[in-house]
């Protein structure tokens, strides 16, 4: 509050010079607030929400578009795929994982993966319509090699991929044909490749669900157990685990570049399309 000057006429040496301005009423000073008014003002300032200028990162905004993050969506999806497990063939479910499959043309595809007593089940699940569109069943006693490591591409390839992956082989002696390598829709490869799902950083629960290292460890243990109980005649028993580069023989990959940049292999909210 501005200080109020002491009333009274100044001394002779302190007399101000005469002014020709018209004499008017002196401006009134604001009344000093009472003690109760000060307390109410403090309470209102405390109760008033403080505005922060920090905006959520753009990456977090994009991640929230994944339908798998909607409340109850993942739980319903897990119930749906578990209902498709054949108890006589697959046995009991031992682990549920949310992964991204990487095909031979470097395309990412959202997948639910189940490890059971006898099988590795890979589900293409529609998180929008709550519908399982495709099932791939891999017998664990046929799994003979698991490769873990970073991704690599041919020397003159224009593609690149960050992060690490896991590639599961079930017939390491069979090489893909030339036609299959150049067919983007081919599905007769004797291996499947996984990497971390983009929502792995959202929370601790999703981090565990998308943990590629824990997935590899559980898969190896399950396969070793089945190999001991149900060996395949003519095949070497056991699973070989290698830390090596996961090679993807793709060069230009314009389709995969556009698809991966726009997450076309995932169920996401994409906004209004049209005019």
Angstrom distance (rounded) from CA 171 to CA 94: 24
* Strand partners for 126: 131
pTM of this structure:
0.74
The pLDDT tens digits for 149-183 are 999 998 888 888 889 999 999 987 677 777 777 77
H or E stretch covering 27: none
Angstrom distance (rounded) from CA 86 to CA 119: 10
- Predicted confidence at residue 31, as pLDDT, reads 47
- Predicted confidence at residue 14, as pLDDT, reads 40
Asked if the model's pLDDT at residue 13 lies above 80, the reply is no
Of 159, 122, 117, nearest to 138 by C-alpha is 122
Lowest mean pLDDT among 52-56, 100-104, 197-201, 259-263: 52-56
The position carrying tokens 């578009």 is 65
Asked if the model's pLDDT at residue 15 lies above 80, the reply is no
The pLDDT confidence band at residue 271, using thresholds 50, 70 and 90, is: low
Cα dihedral 6, 7, 11, 17 in deg (nearest 10): 100
Report, as an integer, the average pLDDT of 269-274.
61
Alpha carbon of 185 to those of 106, 147, 152, 175, 247: distances in Å?
A: 12, 23, 21, 17, 18
- Domain ranges, ordered by start, for the chain: 57-262
CB burial of 5-41 (b: ≥16 within 10 Å; e: otherwise) equals eeeeeeeeeeeeeeeeeeeeeeeeeeeeeeeeeeeee
**CB count, 10 Å around CB of 244?**
11
The pLDDT tens digits for 72-125 are 999 999 999 999 999 999 999 999 999 999 998 899 999 999 999 999 999 999
Report, at the CATH architecture level, how domain 57-262 is classified: Roll (2.30)
Beta strands in 88-237 (DSSP E): 93-102, 108-116, 119-126, 131-139, 145-152, 164-169, 191-196
């Amino acid at each position: 509050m501005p200080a109020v000057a002491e009333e009274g006429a100044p001394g002779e040496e302190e007399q101000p010079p005469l002014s020709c301005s018209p004499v008017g009423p002196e401006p009134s000073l604001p009344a000093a607030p009472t003690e109760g008014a000060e307390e109410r003002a403090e309470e209102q300032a405390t109760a008033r929400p403080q505005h922060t200028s920090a905006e959520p990162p753009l990456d977090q905004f994009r991640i929230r578009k994944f339908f798998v993050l909607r409340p109850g969506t993942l739980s319903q999806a897990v119930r749906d795929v578990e209902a498709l497990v054949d108890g006589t063939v697959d046995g009991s479910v031992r682990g549920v994982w949310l992964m991204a499959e990487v095909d031979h043309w470097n395309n990412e595809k959202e997948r639910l993966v189940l490890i059971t007593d006898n099988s590795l089940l890979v589900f293409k699940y529609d998180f929008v319509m709550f519908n399982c569109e495709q099932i791939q069943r891999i017998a664990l006693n046929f799994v003979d090699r698991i490769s873990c490591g970073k991704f690599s591409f041919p020397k003159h390839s224009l593609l690149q991929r960050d992060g690490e992956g896991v590639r599961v082989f079930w017939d390491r002696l069979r090489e893909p044909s030339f036609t299959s390598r150049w067919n983007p829709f081919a599905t007769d490869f004797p291996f499947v490749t996984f990497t971390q799902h983009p929502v792995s950083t959202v929370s601790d629960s999703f981090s565990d669900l998308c943990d590629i290292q824990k997935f590899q460890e559980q898969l190896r243990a399950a396969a070793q157990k089945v190999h001991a109980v149900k060996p395949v005649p003519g095949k070497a028993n056991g699973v070989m685990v290698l830390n090596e580069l996961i090679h993807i023989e793709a060069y230009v990959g314009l389709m995969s570049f556009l698809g991966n940049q726009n997450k076309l292999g995932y169920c996401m909210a994409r906004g209004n399309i049209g005019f």
